[in-house]
Amino acid sequence: MSAGFRQDRGQAFPIYVVMVAGLLFLAFAFFAVGQASATRNGAQGAADSAALAAAQRTRQELGPKLVAALTTPGGLDDIFKDEAFVVPARAEAVDFASKNHTDLTGWDPHSGGVGQYKFTVNVKTQYTVGKSVIPGTEQDHATARATAVIELRCGLPPGDGSGSGSTPTPTPSRPVTITCDGKDMPVDPMPDLEKIFTVKLVD
């Protein structure tokens, strides 16, 4: 009886070894999937940050030009047209990508329509997924793409100018007023740029 029990236990031992080995492999495989997911999330966060940084830098660049735009016929409509802000915006995107341990691999600044400008960026992680039970992951980098838009929230109040969007020339007794999100807002003193331009991520 005792000999039979020992024989059964001896036969079961290899099965336990195989089961434990299988469970360990699954655990390492799940860990590898988690590593890959974390790397992808890191890349996406870096892409989002780089795109937003480009749009926010553009808002800063356009601030000093706003008064000139308001005193020039059609200036608000044309505020994004000279695209002088693209170079500093790209430098900001590169900087934020680097801070998040990624490289900027794609850069596409483009108009998003009247009163809008978009920045689409692609990034690649400087780090890899790392070693795992899945072959090749130690050489795999994650990539991601993001687009941010800067949008003019303001226009001229109804009745100003010619009615076609042109900007009136202000007089000392009548400072220029703009309408932002349906509310009239004087530009003397100049309001915060966040009230004039909105910056956000878009699909």
pLDDT digits (tens, 9 = 90+) for 137-174: 567 788 999 999 999 888 777 655 444 344 444 444 44
Task: For residue 150, list its beta bridge partners.
Answer: 117, 199
pLDDT for the residue 23: 56
Rounded percentage of the chain residues whose pLDDT exceeds 70 = 67
Q: What is the mean pLDDT of the chain?
A: 78
Determine the Cα–Cα distance for residues 110 and 55; give it in Å rounded to an integer. Answer: 11
pLDDT per position as a tens digit, 169-196:
444 444 578 888 888 888 777 788 888 8
| pTM (2 d.p.) | 0.74
183 or 26: which leads in pLDDT: 183
3-state secondary structure at position 141: strand
CA angle, corner 92, sides to 87 and 95, nearest 5?
Answer: 130
At 77, is the pLDDT very low, low, confident or very high (cuts 50, 70, 90)?
confident
Q: What's the structural domain count of the chain?
A: 1
CB neighbours of residue 158 within 10 Å: 8
The two counts, helices (H) then strands (E), for the chain are 3, 7
pLDDT for the residue 112: 87
User: Minimum mean pLDDT among 39-48, 123-132, 167-176: which range?
Assistant: 167-176
pLDDT for the residue 17: 61
pLDDT for the residue 185: 81
pLDDT for the residue 123: 96
pLDDT for the residue 145: 97
Cis peptide before 189, with omega less than 30 degrees from 0?
yes
Q: Once rounded to an integer, what is the mean pLDDT over residues 116-123?
A: 96
pLDDT for the residue 4: 53
3-state secondary structure at position 81: coil
Question: Is 118's pLDDT higher than 70?
Answer: yes
Enclosing H/E stretch for 190? none
Tokens of 191: 């309001």
Residue 189: give the domain boundaries. 2-202
